[in-house]
Structure formats: structure tokens, C-alpha cells
């Protein structure tokens, strides 16, 4: 089932911030954190620096009325810097690749800041800054075979 969440980018403070938000909302039991060290290396991707392995790759926290905050640490070693303008993203978690491609094409039109739709270990994913300066992340979870 498709849903929308808010995605936050931090510079090495994701775990601290998400624990703060979990305490604020009283939803500590819903907090899930995955570090870069938890993800297998991707073929063809640059090797991760050992000093980056403890940073947060992905965190999720359910807050109010089924709304979810998600977050990651941006990596200075990869030239990533969290700042106003790239620290908050609207994350669309969709049911189909066709819908993901359609929406990504709309948001990416004329964008100079985008990561095209790619197959990643966590799903079919892309991100673009639209012509109004709003960042949109589009994701379709991988299909799992039950059985």
C-alpha cells in the first residue's frame, strides 16, 4: 500500500536526532535504525570509508496518525553536506515502478539535482529537486516471494 513520509538528512546526527524525536513522541519502540555497516557492498559503487560505517544509512520512526519520519546521515567523504534546502524530502513510497517512473519524470523535469530511478538493495529508487525547490524521493519496495 502506497504511503507518504517525511525524509530527513543529517550530518552525522541521525541516530541522536531520531532518538530525540522518538522520546518526544513517546514512540521509542517503533524506532528502526540501519547503519552503513549493515548494508552489503553494491557492485560498481565506490568503497565505503571505514570511518563512515557507523553512520546511519536509514532510520524509521512512526510518529502521529501513521506518519513516519525517515532519515539518513549525509557523508562528507562523498561530498554530501546537509543544509537548509536538502535536509527535508517528501518521500513517496509507491506500489508500482510505472507510477514511480511517471512521478519521477514530472519532478525531475528541468532539475539539475537528481538521482535517476535505480534498482537499489532497498527497492527501485530515485530523488529529484523540483522546479520549486522541493526534494521528492520516489521508492518502490522490492517484490518479495512468499513461499
Per-residue pLDDT tens over the stretch 40-71: 877 887 778 889 999 999 999 999 888 999 99
- Give first-to-last CA distance, the chain, whole Å: 20
Which residue intervals of the chain are DSSP H helices?
14-25, 97-108
- Angstrom CA distances, 70 to 7, 15, 57, 59, 132, stand at 5, 11, 10, 5, 22
For the cut 90, the answer to whether the pLDDT of residue 82 exceeds it is: no
- Cα angle for residues 72, 31, 60 (degrees, 5° grid): 40
Cell of 69: 519520519
Specify the residue for cell string 506518519.
Answer: 67
Per the CB < 8 A criterion, the answer to whether 84 and 8 are in contact is no
Between residues 112 and 19, which one has the greater pLDDT? 19
For the cut 80, the answer to whether the pLDDT of residue 123 exceeds it is: yes
- In this prediction, residue 83 has a pLDDT band, given cuts at 50, 70 and 90, of confident
* Most confidently predicted of 45-49, 77-81, 102-106: 102-106
Handedness of CA 81, 83, 85, 88 (dihedral sign): positive
Percent of the chain whose predicted confidence (pLDDT) is above 70? 97
Cell of 26: 513517546
For the cut 80, the answer to whether the pLDDT of residue 96 exceeds it is: yes
Q: What is the overall mean pLDDT for the chain?
A: 90
Task: Return the pLDDT at 145.
Answer: 60
Q: Which domains does the chain have, with CATH numbers?
A: 3-39+56-139 (3.10.180.10)
CA 139 to CA 147: how far, in whole Å? 24
Task: Return the pLDDT at 99.
Answer: 95
Task: Return the pLDDT at 146.
Answer: 55
Amino acid at each position: 500500500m502506497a504511503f507518504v513520509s517525511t525524509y530527513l538528512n543529517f550530518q552525522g546526527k541521525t541516530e541522536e536526532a531520531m532518538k530525540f524525536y522518538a522520546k518526544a513522541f513517546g514512540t521509542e519502540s517503533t524506532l528502526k535504525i540501519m547503519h552503513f555497516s549493515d548494508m552489503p557492498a553494491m557492485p560498481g559503487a565506490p568503497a565505503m570509508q571505514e570511518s563512515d560505517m557507523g553512520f546511519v544509512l536509514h532510520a524509521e520512526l512512526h510518529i502521529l496518525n501513521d506518519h513516519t519520519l525517515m532519515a539518513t546521515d549525509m557523508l562528507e567523504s562523498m561530498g554530501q553536506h546537509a543544509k537548509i534546502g536538502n535536509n527535508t524530502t517528501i518521500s513517496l513510497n509507491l506500489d508500482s515502478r510505472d507510477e514511480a517512473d511517471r512521478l519521477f519524470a514530472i519532478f525531475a523535469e528541468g532539475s539539475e539535482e537528481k538521482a535517476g530511478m535505480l534498482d537499489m538493495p532497498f527497492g527501485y529508487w530515485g530523488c529529484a529537486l523540483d522546479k520549486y525547490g522541493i526534494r521528492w524521493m520516489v521508492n518502490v519496495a522490492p517484490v518479495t516471494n512468499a513461499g
